[in-house]
Every structure is written in C-alpha cells, then in structure tokens.
Amino acid sequence: MSKNRNQKLVTPEIFHQAVIGSFTKLNPRYMMKNPVMFVVEVGCIITLLLSIFPGLFGDVSAGTNLRLYNVIVCIILFITALFANFAESVAEGRGKAQAASLKKTQKDTKARLLLENGTEKEVLSSQLKKGDVVMVSAGEIIPGDGEVIEGIASVDESAITGESAPVVRESGGDFCSVTGGTTIVSDWLKIRITSEPGNSFLDRMIALVEGASRKKTPNEIALNTLLVSLTIIFLIVIVTLYPIGLYSGVQLQTSTLIALCVCLIPTTIGGLLSAIGIAGMDRVTRFNVIAMSGKAVEACGDVDTMILDKTGTITYGNRLAADFFPVGGAKREDLIRCAALCSLKDETPEGKSTLELARQLGDKSKELSGSEFISFSAQTRMSGVDLPDGTKVRKGASDAIEEFVSKLGGKVPSDLREKVSEIAGLGGTPLTVCENNKILGVIYLKDTVKPGMVERFERLRKIGIKTIMCTGDNALTAATIAKEAGVDGFVAECKPEDKIKLIKKEQSEGKIVAMTGDGTNDAPALAQANVGLAMNSGTTAAKEAANMVDLDSDPTKILEVVEIGKQLLITRGSLTTFSIANDIAKYFAIIPAMFMTAIPELGVLNIMNLATPYSAILSALIFNAIIIPCLIPLAMKGVKYRPMSSGKILARNMLIFGVGGIITPFVGIKIIDLIIHPLLALIGF
C-alpha cells in the first residue's frame, strides 16, 4: 500500500468512474442527503419546466427569448450539480482504487484445519470460523486473522503493509497476531482464528477504504447544519424578493430568483464537504494507517495531549552497553570478565551488546562445561551463571543485586549508589554486577533518543499539543530522557493502569488525548483515549481497542497522523470561509442586475461594470458552477499545514481564503461577462 502514497490525483480509470458517479448520484433520494445541492437540483427541475412552459409561473418576456434564457439557467444548474457529484465521486474513486489492490490479496485459499482428534482436514478459508485452529507452513498463505498459539516463523506482510522485509511472528507476547492474506516465508505456525468469515481485518480495511462504512463526523454534521440554516435563510430572502420587486415595479422572473438563490447559498462548500471528509480518510490511508472511522481522523485534528511510550517511540529501545564502571576498589578487568560470563547465553540486545563490548576490550571468557545459566525474570530482576566451581555471578537491577549479596554476607560498596545515580542521570540504565558476595561494579546501558524528535515535539508545541512520555524507568532516568527529547512531561515507573489514570485525568480537564500501543496490556488505555493508534504487529486485543491501526507499526507515526487530522479541519474551515466569502461578490453581480432597470440608483452597486442584467446573472451562475471543480485538487490534497497557534491559523485562513474568496469571484465573474456578453448579444439578449 505504501507505493500508492504518491498516486496521481485522478487517473483515467478514476475519472471514468467519477463521471458515471456524477450522473448516478443525481437520484433525488441520494441528493437529499446534501440539502444544499438538493436545492440546486430542485432549481434545475423548476427551470426545466419553465423551459418547456415559459409562462408557468406567470413570467413574461420583455423582448427577450425567455424560453432560451430558462434553458441556459437550467443547463448551468445541471452542470453545478454534476460538478458537486464529480468531486465526491473522485474522492470515492481514489478509495476504491486502493480497495481494488487490497481485494487482489483476498483469495479463497485452502486451509489445513486441525480437528480435535489431531488430524488435519482441508477446507476453504471462507469456511473457517472463529476459534478454529489451523496449521500453516512455509510458502502457504495464512487463511484468516488469528493468534499464534504454537511455533515461530517469518511472515511476508507486504500484501498489507507494502513493506517487503518479512517480520517474525511467534506464540506469546505482543507479536503473536497474524493477518489473513499474508504469507509464511519460513518454518510453521499453529494459528487460532479470531474473526468470523467476512469480518477479517482485510475485509474491514476494504470497507473503510471504499468509504462504504463512512459516517459523517460530528464537525461535519455541525457544519452541514450551518449550511442548511444559511440555505433556509436565503430561501426566505428570495421568496420575499418577489413581492418587493412587484412593489418596485419589477416583475422578477422565476429563473432569475432561482439563479440568485443558488449563487447565494453556500454551494461551493456544499459540493465539496463530503469530498473533503472522504479525502481526509484517504490521506491517512495513503500514510499506511487505517482509520476505523472519519471521527477518528477528525479527533486527531483536535488533540490537546499526546501520550507516548519512551521505548521504541522516543528512543530506539535497544539499551546497549556503553561502558563498565568498577566500584568498591574492584578491578575493571574482573568486572568486564564477570559481565561477559553473565552474557554468554543472554540473547537480549543488552546481553549481546555487553558481550560485544567486553570482547572489544580484550575479554576472552568462554563457556565452561557444567555451567548453569540463570535467565532474567521479572521476579528476581537479575540473570547470571553458576560456574562449576560454585562461583555465582549475577547482573541485574542494583537493589536486587544488593539484596542477593547481603544474603551471602557481603557488603554494599559505599560508592555504588553514587555511580548508579550518575548513570541514571545520564539517561542510561545501570546494571550492577557481582561475583558471589562481592559487588564489582556497574554496566552502563545507554538508550538513544531518535534523531529529529526534539524538532517534532517543538512542532507539536507550536500548535498547542502537550506531549507526555510514559516509561517504566526510574524518575531520574526518565527526567534525563525527557529533557533530551524535549517532551513537556513524563511519568516514571509507569504501569498500564497508570496510563489509564493519566488519560482520564487529561480528559477530565476537557482535553482530547492520543496515544499509541501494541500490547494486550495497552488495550484498555487505547480504548480510553480519544485517538488510539495500535501497531499492526501488536496483539488482536490492541487493534480491536484502537480506532486506528498503523500498518507499518511505527509508533512515532502518530505525530504525522495528528497533523493530517489538523489538515482535514483546516481544509474544511478554509473552503467554508472561501465559499461564504464568494457570496459577497455574487451579491454585487446579481442584485444590481435585477433591480437596476426600475431603480437606477442601484447602478452604484454594479462595481464590476457588468454589461447587461442577463450577462451579469449568467456570469455569476457560471462562476458558481466552475469554481467547484477548480477546488477539487485543493479538497483532495488538503490545505498545506504549517505548525502555528490556533489564532495564527485563523488569521492566516481569513486573510488567504476570506479575502481571496471575495476577490476571486469579482475577477472571475468579470472575465466570464466579457466572454459571454458578445455571445448573448448574438442570440438577442
């Protein structure tokens, strides 16, 4: 999917589908969902009737071909409705194009279903039910969403994520979730199916990308209500204009009143509103993030607080050995030797880097026959080795090693805690090493802040978003990393329940909260947050709880997702401002044209110096129609987002789209008038 991020705005296939959609969406039952454009369609139908029966509503012709005038107005209104439908169809077409590529990965493959008696039965993947257990080997396609209950294998997820490098999936932990349609590259997996037929992750992705399950967001509903209110107000104004015209000695033609109504109601934003919402979800999807609803994307734009894990998000997460510090008069060579002995069978990044650093410093320790290695556990918080001669070597958390040494009758060196605090103050993780009842020193494990994080957090700060780092590290280490990364706050020694408390606290203050997570223990917090971004590599529970899933499993992507949400809101606000500002120029074009004959004093309002009343009305109507397709690229791509405060964003948009929305119609209507006036003169207008 990542290859689609730079897809053209409109491909020939999308254009063809959009043209067809423009006509099919003219169905009144569909158009009624967009009241503004429904008014345009009703106006088109009325002018069509007037084209057939010119005197239907008592209109009279004053030396002008009234029938032809009604036909022209009808055609322009019809094109206006088509352009609005075209904008929405283009947005939907882009989503359907992505969905088509996803559907290619959906194959009704054979699945090896494991029966209760231990035998295998070959069935179609579409026949699998939730709870079924299947066996999948190298070269086979995983038949459905599930969780690995046995085995470890490399899985090619490029069909879903676009990333060609295989990923490891294994039973237990946070990397046991697999997605239907992906392929096992090596080894085998025993998988328990977690979704019913037709409700897999891929099925939901396709439905969401196609827009089939898109619902209007709260902001979209609120704006739609405003547009309907403005439309009703202008309809009332138009109705009252007819008797006012009669009182002034002017009989206003019905088609002219309809033209005025269509020009004054916010047709521009009315025609683009749905397309903006669809395009917002489309932009998120092209960023390889699946939003479970438009509301989730919109919520991103309103985020006030962002909660981020330290490990893997702000820092690389691989704590690597950087140095050895002896304490209590111990020799550095002994510290390095014991640290290496503890790490000979330690497959963690910390263990491997400790052994590698020891080798670089000249250590040549080897595994002795009869040695018993002790793995790290959360209970003991240490690991080590018992040598054949009875020597016990351990490395681990400082307090755990202190307790271990004390039980053996040893003493804690006076400078140990000072050295531990010094390493923690540098943002590192101290691992204390002992040999029997003697503490030898400390291994300095260093976690590195990812490049560019300071600038990204500063960017968020400019737009008023507070960042809070959550970490299981001690307060001193957390404070150092927080300062280096540039976050606004941190929570040290953070447990899963602490994240929920933090989210609820921020929400109680009226703030919109976003966070990332991938584990089952993150699921409650992801569900509680207004914006929960789950990693595709994470557990099914995390993905079910979140309202967004990152297919690339990059926790830092939430920073960009928030900016996409901001862009969606800014685009909608900017085009609404432009649309309403447009009406001012149209007012100066049509009102003088309608009453100038009976009230010559209104000529001062004809500041564009339009040629005739008819060319003025038709010029405004034509501009009103063509501005919609002209703004489709902006609605699709979004207004360029720049990090700044809400006040500055509002001032900038008012200047560009407010003033621009006033000036553009004056220029556009005048140019159209210069073009069509000679043509109208040829046909007797």
Question: Catalytic: which of 309, 473, 552, 554?
Answer: 309
Q: Which residue has the higher pLDDT, 174 or 682?
A: 682
Binding site annotation covers 119? no
CATH number for 167: 2.70.150.10
Number of structural domains in the chain: 4
CATH number for 408: 3.40.1110.10
Q: pLDDT by residue (tens digit) across 393-408?
A: 999 999 999 999 999 9
What is the pLDDT at residue 62? Answer: 45
Q: Is 91 part of any domain?
A: yes
Binding site annotation covers 382? yes
Q: Is 155 part of any domain?
A: yes
Region label for 335, one of left (φ > 0), alpha (ψ between -120 and 50) or beta (otherwise): alpha
Q: Which residue has the higher pLDDT, 174 or 564?
A: 564
Helix (H) or strand (E) holding 479: helix 475-485
What is the pLDDT at residue 240? Answer: 87
Q: pLDDT by residue (tens digit) across 57-80?
A: 666 554 457 788 889 999 999 999
Instruction: Give the N- to C-terminal CA distance of the chain in Å, as an integer.
Output: 55
Residue with tokens 């609605």: 635
What is the pLDDT at residue 63? Answer: 44
- Residue 45 pLDDT more than 90? yes
Q: Is 156 part of any domain?
A: yes
Looking at residue 387, the DSSP 8-state letter turns out to be -
d(CA 124, CA 143): 8
pTM greater than 0.75 (yes/no): no
Place 140 in a pLDDT band, splitting at 50, 70 and 90.
confident
Among the three residues 446, 466, 485, which one is the final residue of a domain in this structure? 446
Binding site annotation covers 522? yes
- Residue 2 pLDDT more than 50? no
What is the pLDDT at residue 482? Answer: 87
What is the pLDDT at residue 473? Answer: 75
CATH number for 494: 3.40.50.1000
Same-domain status, 470 and 432: no
Same-domain status, 275 and 414: no
- Residue 108 pLDDT more than 70? no
What is the pLDDT at residue 201? Answer: 67
Binding site annotation covers 378? yes
Same-domain status, 579 and 629: yes
The rounded Cα 239 to chain-centroid distance in angstroms is 44
What is the pLDDT at residue 245? Answer: 75
Burial class (CB in 10 A: 0-12, 13-18, 19+), 530: buried
Same-domain status, 585 and 667: yes
309 assigned to active site: yes
Binding site annotation covers 101? no
Q: Is 111 part of any domain?
A: no
Binding site annotation covers 447? no
Structure tokens at 142: 């995983």
- Residue 274 pLDDT more than 50? yes
Q: Which residue has the higher pLDDT, 188 or 9?
A: 188
Same-domain status, 328 and 440: yes
Q: Which residue has the higher pLDDT, 195 or 486?
A: 486
What is the pLDDT at residue 4? Answer: 44
Same-domain status, 210 and 87: yes
Decide the pairing of beta strands 513-517 and 305-309.
parallel
What is the pLDDT at residue 404? Answer: 94
Among the three residues 504, 524, 550, which one is the final residue of a domain in this structure? 550
3-state secondary structure of 680: helix
Segment 594-610 mean pLDDT:
71
Binding site annotation covers 83? no
Q: Is 149 part of any domain?
A: yes
Could you give the percent of the chain with pLDDT greater than 70?
87
Q: Which of 1-5, 249-253, 444-448 has the lowest mean pLDDT?
A: 1-5
What is the pLDDT at residue 384? Answer: 93
Same-domain status, 488 and 511: yes
- Residue 172 pLDDT more than 50? yes
Structure tokens at 641: 């987002």
3-state secondary structure of 247: helix
Same-domain status, 604 and 676: yes
Binding site annotation covers 346? yes
- Residue 433 pLDDT more than 80? yes
Structure tokens at 162: 């676009």
What is the pLDDT at residue 125? Answer: 79
- Residue 3 pLDDT more than 50? no
Same-domain status, 78 and 212: yes
Binding site annotation covers 229? no
Residue-wise burial string across 17-47, b where 16 or more C-beta atoms lie within 10 A, e elsewhere: bbeebbeebbeeeebeebbbbbbbbebbebb
Decide the pairing of beta strands 489-491 and 177-178.
unpaired
What is the pLDDT at residue 6? Answer: 47
Segment 369-391 mean pLDDT:
88
Beta bridge partners, 443, equal 324, 431
Same-domain status, 226 and 354: no
Among the three residues 446, 472, 504, which one is the final residue of a domain in this structure? 446
Contact between 76 and 625 under an 8 Å Cβ cutoff? The reply is: yes
Q: Provide the Cα torsion 130, 131, 135, 140; round to 10°.
A: 10
Binding site annotation covers 461? no
Q: Is 200 part of any domain?
A: no
d(CA 418, CA 340): 23
Place 97 in a pLDDT band, splitting at 50, 70 and 90.
low
Binding site annotation covers 171? no
- pLDDT averaged over every residue in the chain: 82
Q: How far is CA 168 from CA 101, 173, 327, 684, in A?
A: 25, 12, 40, 77
What is the pLDDT at residue 18? Answer: 86
Q: Cα-flanking dihedrals φ and ψ of residue 197, to 5°?
A: -55, 135
Same-domain status, 68 and 24: yes
Most confident of 214-228, 342-356, 646-660: 342-356
Q: Is 1 part of any domain?
A: no
Q: Is 121 part of any domain?
A: no
Q: Which of 198-202, 374-378, 497-501, 606-610 has the lowest mean pLDDT?
A: 198-202
- Domain residues for the domain of 483 are 301-313+449-550
Same-domain status, 494 and 518: yes
- Residue 7 pLDDT more than 60? no
